[in-house]
Structure 1
Amino acid sequence: MVPPPRFATVSFDNYITDPGQPSQAEAVEALRGFAAQLDGGAGAKGGRRRHWFRREAKPAASGGPRGMYLDGGYGVGKTHLLASLWHATPAAPELKAFGTFVELTNLVGALGFQQTVKTLSGHRLLCIDEFELDDPGDTVLVSTLLGKLVEAGVALAATSNTLPGKLGEGRFAAADFLREIQGLSAHFRTLRIDGEDYRHRGLPAAPAPHSDETVTRAARHIPGASLDDFPALLDHLSRVHPSRYGAMCDGVQAVCLTGVGPIPDQSTALRLVVLADRLYDREVPVLASGVPFDQLFSEEMLNGGYRKKYFRAISRLTALARDAKGLADVASSGR
């Protein structure tokens, strides 16, 4: 549970703030201070001596909540800042954990609740990216888990497109689980980060979709490239648990897709969002034919409870399509 390859070397220093958005610089300074509070007298390597038979109390952050919650639109650099906090926290890597919200719930599924609490309670910091509550079960599970970890002295940090008190809104009867949602909110100090999508700030328009012939030719000439018909890929995703999408992407150097078209239903759309996130984390370019990525989701989807997830997916897939622009040139040179 470490930051993915795209964020393996990020820092507060290489986070480029927008001068017109002071909240970005304010967030950097707040997170620097939070990381410093987690030092607790750690040595040069950030480690602490551990005892087999005695549990030492962990240093607490001075006052206030035990967590930082980065709220803002897609593309303002929240994951960059979260990963920077992980890197800046003076603790050995085995005392820090970084993962998406989905990966955290999958960890509970794999280890069981009590073992997850036991495993993570020994950490100095838990970073949760893309914090979302899509169903009541997740609400109760995560509320209970984070409460246990805070009691154990674990510091928390999370990113989301939704304020803590608004989690689950528009997706299930959040009012019925208000106590759990308020309990989650109490663990965090919220940092609002404003700004436009940095992935497309000042850049040329995304490349238009290519022809099936170009995509197929590129797949044949690029080592490690995959080639799939888009409807077949969506069907395959329905038979693979989302927790395995990351492993499915391992070793893939480029994704080539033919026949990209509108997503037929919300369940399929949400699976594609997870795949887009894993491809983006691994910096895998996507070369595609069919409709542009901003036409994947229906107006109903883009106006519904998951709209922020869909806009994030569009932003990330468009960035990966821009990264793949040179792959079409490889295909042309290989005629």
Structure 2
Amino acid sequence: MSEKDFIRIDIDKIEPVEISDWEMKNIEKRILRVSKKRANNKIKWLSAIAMTAIIVTSSTIWLPALADRLPIIQQLIQVNNSPQLQVFSDYGTIINQLDESNGSTIELAEAFFDGSIVSISYEMKLDKPINGNPLFWLEQLEVNGNTVNVQSQQIIKKDDYTLIGMFTARVSDEVIDKTISVQWSPEVLKSMDYTTLIEGDWAYQLELSPTKAHSKKLNIPFGNEQYQLVFNQLTKGKYATALYFEGNLDWNTEFLMIEIKDNVGNVYEDIGTSSFKSDSGRVNGYIELFVSDTAIQTLILTPTIRIVDEKTLAKKEDIQLPIIQIPLE
């Protein structure tokens, strides 16, 4: 299915289908899967049916009056108390940069750059209520003049006239140890059914300095006779740790799934993988997780190859691979 075919779909004519927990987690984790090295940077959608199955949690929330005076990230923590958001709160930089368009004002509130990942929070004041739950922006995000892809967005209705949210983007596979220039130009806010909720012409530019992070090359093979893969790089910052891999997977039908624990007994849940085609025809990708404790020195990974139907993403077979260990230092 091409991007044009997707846009022409009549959503009302698509029959809803039940999907497994694994499929839901992967859809929620990565709505879009991007072919990284294509010059025109086109987006490959998972599938029309999968897209309609996404559960959106951006309903209106109630916050006490005191929350109105809290930083945006602290308000988001009240809704989703994740350790990564707390890192954002601890190390983020106050921005307070406003722009108005078509009667609606967006204020960039806080931003955080950990050497490879950028996160930015914001508040949006509306001149009139919107119908439907906001899901994602159509936008332009540039770092040092290069277009990058937003990986995740969290948008919440605080009340009928206020949205709060944040977005995250991986800007480099290698650690950047210099100040970066970020430009964000949101234009259209869409709902789950791709309906336009808000249009405008906002633009922001800011400079962000990185927190301490490091990157190192790896050469840790894993797999079996059928699947030969290798972890070739590790990037570790305060916000996220990423393990990069490559291997002979079919990008359309074979997915790498990972169960992870560490040397002190922590179990990491809801870990997803992102993958893209390489020029050689192999699949490259990365696994991203949050490692909070400096006492954690080793990750213990149990990989599985899930084979799915190319059109529906329904599971056909799971192939267990041998357990491997990844040193973090």
Q: What is the TM-score with the length of structure 2 in the denominator?
A: 0.28
The structure that is strand-richer by fraction is 2
Greater length-normalized contact order (CA 8 Å, ≥ 6 residues apart): 1
The structure that is helix-richer by fraction is 1
Q: What is the TM-score with the length of structure 1 in the denominator?
A: 0.28
